[in-house]
Amino acid sequence: MTVDADSKFADMDEVVDRELSRAAKVAAEEVLAVKKDEAALIITNPETNVYSISKAMYDAILDCGGKPTIMLQPFKTQLDYADKNVIGAIKANPDICISLSAEKLGKDEAAIKDHYKAGEQEYDHIFDYLFREKKMRAFWSPSVTAGMFKKTVPIDYPRLRRECEDIKAILDRAVSVRVTSDKGTDVVLGLLGREAQSDDGDFRAPGQGGNLPAGEVYISPELGNSNGTIAFDGSISLPVGDLVIKDPIIATVKDNYVTDLSGGEEASELEEALTSGRDSALEMVSQGKLDPAEGDEYAKNSRNLGELGIGLNRKAEIVGNMLEDEKVYSTCHIAIGSNYDNDAKATIHLDGLINLPTIVAKYKDGTEKTIMENGELVY
């Protein structure tokens, strides 16, 4: 089926519902600020939720005067490769790139073996390269549903952006942060030399982007300098799908690596996921897609602490979908696997939620600043 560039999906047989159209309009106008004649690439799958959102975004971008294109590829997990024609479309460097995937966009097979380089920085995906080097703006919504999009996208963005700016400023100054909770979390994460990122829904300029739903500040822990205990008690992401946690998963952390996991069935599933992350890296070596040294790095980092994130979206709820769960106000999350500073690469990035945390930042002079206390912002 072909679609005339001047027609709208909503004029066709399937009519996009009004709430979804409204959310897409907010995304196009308030989040992306689409301008006349801007090229927008929407990558999706032939799955009801993400395809319906993609059609709504197509219409909303068209209404703003933009030039949208929708591209379909089969379902992908975090261990799969994106189709080569999808990678080629991203290489065309659109003004805006949107990934609305039922699970994941997929890895860049060629770039994993031969990284993109910008000075000393290296990237193993064309999407990351173009985005991080400020050549395009973007949002990505892995595993998003239409209901989630309608509920969590139309929010108070001025408030969110203020809170993100304040928390980012605290984390940027901090040399470490201590996270505690009544379920047993007590971990100190080193942050020296790290800079926080804001998923604040302000994706209006090249190099700006994040998730929709938006609503978190996140930072990559300093390498080798995080220690303590994490009690994941909200939800946990796995290579395929996410789980709401019934029995807390207790993770022991030494020098930034998870050395032990205990708990119920969910703990066993997380252990299997970390093992699969290690094994997939070693398999890539055997296939010639990584050299042995890189393979060892990817395998080791399957147990690395890759992220601390603080949720700030007041319309988000814990639903067993990490895209929404990690944005829930009164929570934070810590990820195991790859980080966002690209100096701890892995084949996995698995987020685990902590409910009602107390988060205290420590500055170089020894003073401290409480960001959140029992789940409430107090800075």
In a domain, 175, yes or no: yes
pLDDT, averaged across the chain: 93
Q: State how far the Cα of 358 lies from the Cα of 356, in Å rounded to an integer.
A: 7
Token pair of 324, please?
A: 């929404």
What local confidence, expressed as pLDDT, does residue 34 receive? Answer: 98
Both 124 and 234 in one domain: the answer is: no
Same domain, 166 and 143: no
* Domain that residue 317 falls in: 155-377
Helices 18-26 and 48-63: crossing angle in degrees, nearest 10, is: 60
Same-domain check for residues 212 and 94: no
CB 357 within 8 A of CB 185: yes
**Residue 24: both structure tokens together:** 């897409």
**CA R_g for the chain:** 20
Stretch 23-28: mean pLDDT, rounded? Answer: 98
What are the backbone angles phi and psi of residue 356, rounded to the nearest 5°?
Answer: 50, 50
d(CA 256, CA 187): 10
Instruction: Tell me what the mean pLDDT of segment 71-76 comes to.
Output: 95
* Separation between Cα atoms, residue 98 and residue 102, nearest integer Å: 13
**Whether the predicted pLDDT of 5 surpasses 70:** no
Tell me, yes or no, whether 134 and 178 share the same domain: no
105 and 174, same domain (yes or no): no
Contacting residues for 14 by C-beta, under 8 A, at least 6 apart: 52, 55
Q: What is the mean pLDDT of residues 124-139?
A: 92
- pLDDT at residue 120, as a whole number: 85
Residue 260: Cβ within 10 Å count: 12
Judged by average pLDDT, the poorest of 12-16, 35-39, 116-120 is 12-16
What's the whole-number mean pLDDT along residues 196-205? 96
Assess whether 120 and 238 both reside in one domain. Answer: no
Percent of the chain with pLDDT over 90: 90
Is the confidence at residue 3, as pLDDT, over 50? no
The alpha carbon dihedral of 96, 101, 104, 110 has a sign of: negative
As a whole number, mean pLDDT of residues 188-199 equals: 96
Give yes or no: residues 122 and 175 share one domain.
no
- Give mean pLDDT, residues 10-27: 78
- Please tell me whether residues 215 and 304 are part of one structural domain: yes
Q: Average of pLDDT values for 167-180? A: 98
For position 29, what pLDDT does the model report? 98
pLDDT of residue 8: 54
Q: Are strands 121-123 and 67-72 parallel, antiparallel or unpaired?
A: unpaired
Q: What is the CATH number of the domain that holds 46?
A: 3.40.50
Structural tokens at position 219: 């930072």
Residue 3 lies in a domain: no
The answer to whether residue 208 is domain-embedded is: yes
Residues 133 and 233 placed together within one structural domain of the fold? no
162 in the same domain as 134: no
- What strands, in cross-sheet order, belong to the sheet with 368-373? 257-262, 249-254, 226-232, 186-190, 174-180, 358-363, 368-373, 376-377
Does the residue 60 lie in any domain? yes
Q: What is the mean pLDDT of residues 69-78?
A: 92
Q: Of 114, 147, 180, at which residue does a domain stop?
A: 147
Note the pLDDT of residue 15: 52
Q: Is position 98 within any domain?
A: yes
From 120, 147, 174, give the residue that closes a domain. Answer: 147
Counted domains in the chain: 2
7: pLDDT confidence band, cut at 50, 70 and 90?
low
Q: Is residue 323 located within the same domain as residue 211?
A: yes
Q: DSSP 3-state assignment of 128?
A: helix
* Global confidence as pTM: 0.86
Query: Do the domain assignments include residue 301?
Result: yes
